[in-house]
Amino acid sequence: MHMLHFNRIAVRAAASMLAFVVVAMFAVSSQAWGQDYDYSDSTSAFQEPVYPGIAPQSKVEATMGSQIFRVYGTLLMNASASDSVEVGQDLVLWPAPGGNVTFPDGTTKRNAHIHDLIFTARQTVFGFQLKPADQTTNVWHASGTLEFDFFGGRPFDALQPQGRVFNEPRLRLGYIQLQKGNWRFLAGQDRMIVSPLDPVSLSHVAAPLGSTAGNLWGWQPQVRAEYTHMMGKASTLLQMGVLRPQFADARLETLPATGTAIDVNASGLGERTTFPVYQARYSAIIPMSGSKATFGAGGHYGRERIGAERDLDSWAFTFDFSVPLTSRFRWRGEGFVGSNLIQFQGGVVQGVAVFNPGGGAPTQFNKIGSGGGWSELIVKLTSDNKNVFYIGAGTDDPKDSNLLTGSGRSKNTFSWASYFHKFTDNVTTAIEWSNWQFKTRNFVSGLPTTNGPAGRGNVFNLAVAYQF
């Protein structure tokens, strides 16, 4: 049995390593398309900030000695209204299924009939960059980025029930970078290597839109290497790296208590494997329709330790694309298939299902397999780039046969449409509608049977952003 277990791990590891040679794409940015997130353009001396929506034309930067210092950010105000109770509230993850809300007068009303109105500015983003003023190509260039938002924890005291809003800064990105010619090395916290794209949205900046409904994502401490190969007007990009093996699956790990000031459980089940997460991508960038198209695929492999000598693996194969259909239309999206992907909010934030009917040690562990993705059509309505329309859909569909009691989220699907209008080079407004369909399963003796309570919701968001 031990040899069989080892052989299975070896086969999966070999498949994962093969995926490192067949990895994902990266979309080339165009301000006309509301920013196609070109933070992996290896022709750049450093990575450009990722702005939600349409990027400003100007940069706030100055030369100081041998370095160029840049400040950037998005001051963001969101007002959202929903026709049901949403898990995540101002950062919608899925609509709450079934159930009632009890009011102070003792009356109740179903979740699906509750209307919420939320105002927030906590998704505001700001950051700093340093890069060399000398852009000589035959020497190593060092650059760095720090990026924050205000979506961190809220301090707790006896007056917290008054609803005071004290949002603390949260580190999004923090990395150093070395680049020379076609090579780039990065160390620090950055976006994960696979699944590099996100739907364009000003309603979801603290976490990407669709992050539990087909859009794998993560800001992970990592070390990675990149190599660009030019082929005339086309190019390829190979990225390989190791990431922190952090799973934080609430079914398996005891998470720090609410209000805990320090990370008392610093070593999780991923860290205890002493085995990093491996990821890689391979992209091909091709001229098309007066712009560029990108196609690619990616691979991910990791482990977490659930016993003294027992590991569960985590794997995924991904693809992504960004294609200019005409000068006014661009189609982009991502897809994935994998297992135990909770660290990237895959499987509708489910990694492993556990069965222990009599309490005590579990008798069964099921890795939750899942597949899904998202797709977005971007339409430039006017040639001055001031009016852009977005429409898309996404889904995450865990494998029902892997689910057990307590892990019953069987599907999360959403669709959305938004309109961005640029008043000035720096000020953008966006109106977004999204519809969410969430499904669960009932269980008998730990096994999934009939459909369980479902959640449905519509969310309308108005955003005003000042970008610099």
| Strand-pair partners of 69 | 62, 130
pLDDT at position 101 is 84
Polymer length of the chain = 468
pLDDT at position 260 is 56
Q: Identify which of 77, 116, 114 has the alpha carbon closest to the alpha carbon of residue 97.
A: 114
Is the pLDDT score of 45 beyond 60? no
Whether the CB-CB separation of 265 and 253 falls below 8 Å is answered with: yes
pLDDT at position 155 is 66
pLDDT (average), residues 383-408: 93
Amino acid at 104: P
Secondary structure letter of residue 326 according to DSSP: S
Whether the CB-CB separation of 179 and 226 falls below 8 Å is answered with: no
Is the pLDDT score of 226 beyond 70? yes
> Is residue 253 helix, strand or coil?
coil
Amino acid at 357: P
φ, ψ at 32 (rounded to 5°): -65, -20
Could you give the CA distance from residue 451 to residue 212 in angstroms, rounded to a whole number? 20
Whether the CB-CB separation of 463 and 205 falls below 8 Å is answered with: no
Whether the CB-CB separation of 377 and 331 falls below 8 Å is answered with: yes
pLDDT at position 223 is 98
Could you give the CA distance from residue 436 to residue 2 in angstroms, rounded to a whole number? 44
Q: What is the pLDDT of residues 235-272, one digit of tens each?
A: 999 999 999 998 888 888 876 665 555 555 567 888 98
pLDDT at position 363 is 82
> Is residue 412 helix, strand or coil?
strand
pLDDT (average), residues 271-285: 94
**Tokens 């994502």 belong to residue:** 217
pLDDT (average), residues 198-215: 94
Cα 151 to its chain centre, rounded Å, is 15
Is the pLDDT score of 25 beyond 50? no
pLDDT at position 111 is 80
Q: Residue 370's pLDDT band (boundaries 50, 70, 90)?
A: very high
Q: Residue 79's pLDDT band (boundaries 50, 70, 90)?
A: very high
What pTM did the predictor assign?
0.85
pLDDT at position 452 is 92
Q: What is the pLDDT of residues 126-169, one digit of tens each?
A: 999 999 988 777 889 999 999 999 998 766 666 555 566 678 89
Secondary structure letter of residue 115 according to DSSP: -
> Is residue 411 helix, strand or coil?
strand
SS3 content of the chain, % helix, strand, coil (to 5): 10, 50, 45
For the chain, the average pLDDT equals 84
Could you give the CA distance from residue 101 to residue 76 in angstroms, rounded to a whole number? 30
Q: What is the pLDDT of residues 399-422, one digit of tens each?
A: 999 999 889 999 999 999 999 999
pLDDT at position 112 is 75
